[in-house]
């Protein structure tokens, strides 16, 4: 981000190719995959079919659609879930400049997190999730793919492709949103995600990032102590915290209720 030219439209992710002196920076997921395919022809696992131009275009179209729709929806829903469960973890976004921000229990993290949350709510329009029917749009995409996976092993054709890679990357955040991850209608989606990760992800099974691990630890702790009267009081207070009161509850019980699943 710092080295890339200011004129470059910076869409995450960004890569820098030291072997390309004329145009070393590439950004956005699908264009990066296409660039790597054309630039580095020798690959043990081609992500775009070479035998059929029609199927190759189908993979590209699927990737672009997932990037522009599912990726945006899943990110917004996951941010809301995280703000609801563990607002102090949001401080990690400042970790590069302030090392203490990686410790969500640090008093500075607790103090700064509501302000970071306010920025995220504004930046990603989290308070508009219900009005923009983000959950319903996400459901439609997932149900369409779930129906496809009932009779197919992969999203396009009979082999792993960039479409599978893209989908599994974008669906990963929704494993932390109970409305989707605990819903039997989407079980085939998450079974497929697990199967693809296990077979093709070199980091498997350690695939959770720091924030996801924090959220998982929090849920485990809540389930373990859910019958405690003290924890019930804490949970009640958390429902009416700064972020929830001023940004969720005052907008017609919007995005928080829209993803609440118990």
Q: What percentage of the chain has pLDDT greater than the value 90? A: 42
* Distance (Å, whole) CA 31 – CA 26: 7
What rounded mean pLDDT belongs to the chain? 83
Provide the pLDDT confidence category of residue 244 given band limits of 50, 70 and 90: low
pLDDT tens sequence across 18-68: 999 888 999 889 999 999 988 887 767 789 987 788 899 999 999 999 999
Give yes or no for a contact between 256 and 248, defined as CB atoms under 8 angstroms apart: yes
Contacts of residue 217, defined as CB under 8 A and 6 or more positions apart, other chains included, come to none
- In the predicted structure, residue 245 carries a pLDDT above the cut 60: no
- In the predicted structure, residue 259 carries a pLDDT above the cut 50: no
pLDDT average, residue stretch 131-149: 96
pTM of the predicted model over 0.85 = no
Sorted by where each begins, the domain ranges of the chain are: 1-44, 53-206+214-259
pLDDT tens sequence across 185-195: 999 999 999 99
Contacts of residue 174, defined as CB under 8 A and 6 or more positions apart, other chains included, come to 74, 77, 78, 138, 180, 181
User: What is the sign, positive or negative, of the torsion defined by CA atoms of 181, 185, 189, 195?
Assistant: positive
And the tokens for 197?
Answer: 């990760």
Contacts of residue 158, defined as CB under 8 A and 6 or more positions apart, other chains included, come to none
Give yes or no for a contact between 32 and 15, defined as CB atoms under 8 angstroms apart: yes
Give yes or no for a contact between 211 and 82, defined as CB atoms under 8 angstroms apart: yes
């Amino acid at each position: 981000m710092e080295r890339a030219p200011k004129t470059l439209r910076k869409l995450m992710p960004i890569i820098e190719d030291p072997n390309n002196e004329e145009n070393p920076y590439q950004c956005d997921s699908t264009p990066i995959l296409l660039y790597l395919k054309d630039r580095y022809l020798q690959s043990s696992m081609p992500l775009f079919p070479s035998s059929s131009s029609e199927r190759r275009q189908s993979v590209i179209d699927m990737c672009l659609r997932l990037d522009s729709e599912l990726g945006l929806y899943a990110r917004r829903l996951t941010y809301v879930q995280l703000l609801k469960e563990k607002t102090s973890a949001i401080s990690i976004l400042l970790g590069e400049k302030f090392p203490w921000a990686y410790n969500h229990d640090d008093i500075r993290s607790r103090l700064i997190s509501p302000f970071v949350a306010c920025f995220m709510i504004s930046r990603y329009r989290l308070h508009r999730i219900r009005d923009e029917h983000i959950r319903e749009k996400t459901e439609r995409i997932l149900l369409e793919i779930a129906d496809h996976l009932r009779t197919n092993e992969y999203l396009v054709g009979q082999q792993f492709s960039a479409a599978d890679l893209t989908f599994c990357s974008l669906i990963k955040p929704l494993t932390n949103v109970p409305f989707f991850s605990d819903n039997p209608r989407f079980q085939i989606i998450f079974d497929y995600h697990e199967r693809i990760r296990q077979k093709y992800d070199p980091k498997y099974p350690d695939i959770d990032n720091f924030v996801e691990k924090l959220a998982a630890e929090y849920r485990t702790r809540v389930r373990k102590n859910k019958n405690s009267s003290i924890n019930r009081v804490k949970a009640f207070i958390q429902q009416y915290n700064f972020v929830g009161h001023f940004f969720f509850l005052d907008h017609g019980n919007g995005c928080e209720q829209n993803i609440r699943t118990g």
